Structure 1
Amino acid sequence: MTSRQFFSYFTSTFTLDVFPLPSLTETSSTSVLLTQIPINFDTIRPFTQSIKPSLTSGSDGIPPMVIKCGSDDIPLFLCKIFNVSLESGVFPSQWKTSVINPRHKSGPLDDITNYRPINHTPISSRIFEKIIKKSLVDFLTSKGIISCAQHGFISKRSCATCHLDFLDFVTSSVDKGFSLIIVYLDMNKAFDRVPHKRLLLKLKSVGVSGNLLKWFSSFLSERKLVVRIGNEYSRPSEITSGVIQGSVLGPILFLIYVNDIFSLFSFGKPFMFADDLKIAYAFYPGDMQRTITRIQNELNSLDDWSNIWQINFSPDKSGITVYKCTPPVNAFTLKGKVLPFQNTVRDLGLRYSCNYSFSHQVTHQLAKCRQLLGLISRVFRLPQAKLELYKSHVRPLLEYSFLVGGNLRKYDRVAIESFQRAFTKYVVGYSSTSTYRERCIALSLEPLWLRRIKLNMTVLHNILYNGTFNNNPLLELHNHGPYCLRNKGNTLVIPQTRTSFRARFFSNRYAILWNPLPQDIRAVSSTFQFKMRLQKFLSPVNILSLFQVYQTLDNLYENGPDYV
């Protein structure tokens, strides 16, 4: 495929604002506005120091190495340019040209629709954008503007927190006896289709005004792109819409643009990571007909929103899963098309069935790991090389879904551990009679179930001490009052559950493992110190006694405890 073909495809996704523009009331107090961002040497210096020292220059011809390793005159010079730009509300035109390198997403390599445009912008522009982004995010955070249902591009939020938040809702709803309907929606080329005039309206509504709003208008307008394939370049073309994928400001601008979508759902609970949206509905089984009507009303509101704000949803790529209910096949429509029911879904890289079995995920992970390990085995001969590549490339694939480890069925957990057990046999030699435990010790490998415990306990620690779920606490500390015994501090309340489905969920399962830990581990607030102390304490021998696991050490290594 040539640069011309990619150029034609990428430019075909752009849109133009449809007039008249919608009216939008300001959601923030007019007395608290973000009108200017002061920049000085101390503001710029940390950003220039954190640059990767690359010799590859951007569209401005300046390699990052020059900025990072140059004298203090460079930050001072940039400081003057940045301040003049903000005061005048004009973004430098020389920084508006982006070089696009197509990046493959998934699917056949020869299908041009399986590529996304990643913009490479000048290094000076990226430093400028980072400074603006930090001030903008601090402003939005202080006013609580970005919804807690959004997990993308936000500090202390990620795919993992989105999965946890969603599964917390699902398992707690099932525990209460509710049925579930989950609507998964696909936004079509959302990042590239954001209309600029409407985006400026959204910026104004959250409190961005004055010269800074004018600066954003200049930043978005009259931008150009050039597609590069090897040494071949396409002709330049104007970018008429979108938030510039690959830019620094693009993600936060997109979050601002779609932030009001959450106000559409009063009955359903939305969960969003960037442009991936799902809405979960929990209801009593006897209230099916009323529930169908309410869900369709919210889908109609979503359709109206998409028409007003020119963000298209693709019904063909959307779908619905149900749990303990059977609505009619054509119950739900979007844009005049029936949303199909699905038995399995792929949600942010996690595959599961409509009854929340993760066997599909385990099967997929193991297939990818076998393929990658086969490649490593064919190319590399030294056992040490194979071991290091296994730890750096294969094991992370096995651990992708570690947060749902408690909800994995036993045969899935055993299948994952069996993969590493077979690998250790392969590295040591098939003639060896050593046990899996002995091979792990010889190769300095931990069993995967033990690594899952440590990874999940670290996540639990971050939730408690680093505010990962400050808007929706998954865990609750015991309130012992003034008479707390020394080893009872920092223990967690273990909620009562009616179903094993809820009992296996992360917050319940790992609260049980957290409380028996020594006080000096539970009380430490530093993540680094917590990891070090946990690593020292959580040996398989301690696990046998601490968690009352009645197995031999060899058995424990091969199968792990029943609950991780």
Structure 2
Amino acid sequence: MDMNSKLQAIHDWGSQWQVSFAANKTQAMVVSRSPAASDVMKDRIIMNNTALPLEDFISILGVDIDNELRFNRHVRRICKTASLKVTALRRASHLLNPQGILTLYKSQIRPHLEYASLAWSSTAPTNLNRLDKIEKRALRLIQEASNPGHIDSLEHRRDVGALTVLHKAQVQQVPHLSSLRLPPHGRERSTRTVHSNRLLVEVPRSRSSQHQRTFSARAARLWNAFTSTTDVAEMTTQQVKTAAHRWRSKKPSPLYLLYTHGDT
């Protein structure tokens, strides 16, 4: 098995350089929607002559990645953490002015709701709605005290983040983001509204609604719609972020971007 040969190579490298890799501390997980997939692979992933047990989920840098890539467990966990903090904020809100409440929300609650969001953005809409409800609870505390003006939604911030990251990958050619690069659009077209036609990318074909929500699929649709009206070829990261924020504030309905299969 190719996986076992790679694990053996890691073990051999460790032995050569006096670095110990403990098999009993190594996690393995089979990513599949099939319930039988884990059974097929049971006791077949070997590291240093030890069969690695298969996990239902693995936590990597604070993100709970489950074997079906649904991210239900991760969203439940961050919802619980953020909800407790909203409750604590509500209890202390009478001691704070509206700006203080907003500052605490942005620094102590919102980071939980959007940490590594581009990695788990393919989660079900019901999970995203749970995050939105927690945000509304926090913002309601501010609105009860005064009119805070417009505050960007979590979806808005995720979309701006996706466009900014894709700009780094596609235009700036940042090396560590090379795996996120998308192939250029194969068909040329010329219209007065297209300023950066050469930056259009191929939208990955999706056979499920979950795949349509993945970073590569959703970001590709957003990117094509964004770059069709905005020339980002010479922009800096901050300029792209600002432009994406303005564009996202008046972009078409999310349903249009979610279910459009053709080219933008």
TM bucket by the smaller chain? 0.7 to 0.9
Contact 2:86 2:137 in 1 (8 A): no
Q: 2:225 aligns with which of 516, 520, 528?
A: 516
Q: 1:372 aligns with which of 85, 96, 99?
A: 85
TM (norm. structure 1) is 0.40
User: Aligned residue for 1:478?
Assistant: 185
Contact 1:524 1:530 in 2 (8 A): no
How big is each residue's C-alpha offset from its partner over 1:27-66, in whole Å with a ceiling of 9 and x where there is no partner? Answer: xxxxxxxxxxxxxxxxxxxxxxxxxxxxxxxxxxxxxxxx
* Secondary structure of the corresponding residue to residue 512 of structure 1: helix
Q: 1:418 aligns with which of 133, 138, 144?
A: 133
Matches within 5 A, 1:520-531: 520-531=230-241
Does 2:148 correspond to 1:442? yes
TM (norm. structure 2) is 0.80
Alignment-mate amino acid for residue 363 of structure 1: R
User: Aligned residue for 2:262?
Assistant: none
- Residue 468 (structure 1) shift: 2.4
- Residue 480 (structure 1) shift: 5.2
* Secondary structure of the corresponding residue to residue 28 of structure 2: strand
- Residue 484 (structure 1) shift: 3.4
- Residue 526 (structure 1) shift: 1.8
Distance (Å, rounded) in 2 between the aligned partners of 1:346 and 1:399: 16
* Secondary structure of the corresponding residue to residue 303 of structure 1: helix
Does 2:168 correspond to 1:459? no
- Residue 473 (structure 1) shift: 5.3
- Residue 524 (structure 1) shift: 4.5
* Secondary structure of the corresponding residue to residue 502 of structure 1: helix
Distance (Å, rounded) in 2 between the aligned partners of 1:458 and 1:525: 11
- Residue 445 (structure 1) shift: 1.4
Alignment-mate amino acid for residue 414 of structure 1: N
User: Aligned residue for 2:26?
Assistant: 318
- Residue 353 (structure 1) shift: 1.1
Distance (Å, rounded) in 1 between the aligned partners of 2:210 and 2:109: 30
Pick closer, same or farther for the CA change 1:364–1:345 going to 2, 3 Å.
Answer: same
More helix per residue: 1 or 2? Answer: 2
Contact 1:521 1:530 in 2 (8 A): no
Distance (Å, rounded) in 2 between the aligned partners of 1:328 and 1:532: 47
Alignment-mate amino acid for residue 103 of structure 2: E
Distance (Å, rounded) in 2 between the aligned partners of 1:535 and 1:294: 44
Contact 2:122 2:210 in 1 (8 A): yes
Distance (Å, rounded) in 2 between the aligned partners of 1:535 and 1:521: 14
Which ranges in structure 2 are unaligned for 5 or more consecutive residues? 260-264
Distance (Å, rounded) in 1 between the aligned partners of 2:184 and 2:235: 14
Distance (Å, rounded) in 1 between the aligned partners of 2:178 and 2:220: 19
- Residue 378 (structure 1) shift: 4.6
User: Aligned residue for 1:208?
Assistant: none
How big is each residue's C-alpha offset from its partner over 1:58-103, in whole Å with a ceiling of 9 and x where there is no partner? Answer: xxxxxxxxxxxxxxxxxxxxxxxxxxxxxxxxxxxxxxxxxxxxxx
Distance (Å, rounded) in 2 between the aligned partners of 1:388 and 1:373: 13
Number of residue pairs matched by the alignment: 247
Q: 1:387 aligns with which of 98, 102, 119?
A: 102
Does 2:212 correspond to 1:503? yes
Which ranges in structure 1 are unaligned for 5 or more consecutive residues? 1-292, 433-438, 551-560
Contact 1:491 1:522 in 2 (8 A): no
Distance (Å, rounded) in 2 between the aligned partners of 1:479 and 1:366: 42
- Residue 345 (structure 1) shift: 0.9
Matches within 5 A, 1:335-346: 335-346=48-59
More strand per residue: 1 or 2? Answer: 1
User: Aligned residue for 1:401?
Assistant: 116
Alignment-mate amino acid for residue 424 of structure 1: L
Matches within 5 A, 1:241-320: 293-320=1-28
* Secondary structure of the corresponding residue to residue 446 of structure 1: coil
How big is each residue's C-alpha offset from its partner over 1:186-235, in whole Å with a ceiling of 9 and x where there is no partner? Answer: xxxxxxxxxxxxxxxxxxxxxxxxxxxxxxxxxxxxxxxxxxxxxxxxxx
* Secondary structure of the corresponding residue to residue 355 of structure 1: coil
Distance (Å, rounded) in 2 between the aligned partners of 1:502 and 1:365: 23
Structure with higher Rg: it is: 1
Alignment-mate amino acid for residue 442 of structure 1: P
Contact 1:514 1:522 in 2 (8 A): no
User: Aligned residue for 1:67?
Assistant: none
Pick closer, same or farther for the CA change 1:411–1:498 going to 2, 3 Å.
Answer: closer
- Residue 379 (structure 1) shift: 4.9
Alignment-mate amino acid for residue 371 of structure 1: L
Pick closer, same or farther for the CA change 1:535–1:472 going to 2, 3 Å.
Answer: closer
Pick closer, same or farther for the CA change 1:455–1:294 going to 2, 3 Å.
Answer: closer
User: Aligned residue for 1:10?
Assistant: none
Matches within 5 A, 1:55-134: none
Contact 1:358 1:408 in 2 (8 A): yes
* Secondary structure of the corresponding residue to residue 21 of structure 2: coil
- Residue 485 (structure 1) shift: 3.1
Distance (Å, rounded) in 2 between the aligned partners of 1:294 and 1:533: 45
How big is each residue's C-alpha offset from its partner over 1:354-405, in whole Å with a ceiling of 9 and x where there is no partner? Answer: 0111111111212222333444445562132121111122111211032035
Distance (Å, rounded) in 2 between the aligned partners of 1:419 and 1:548: 20
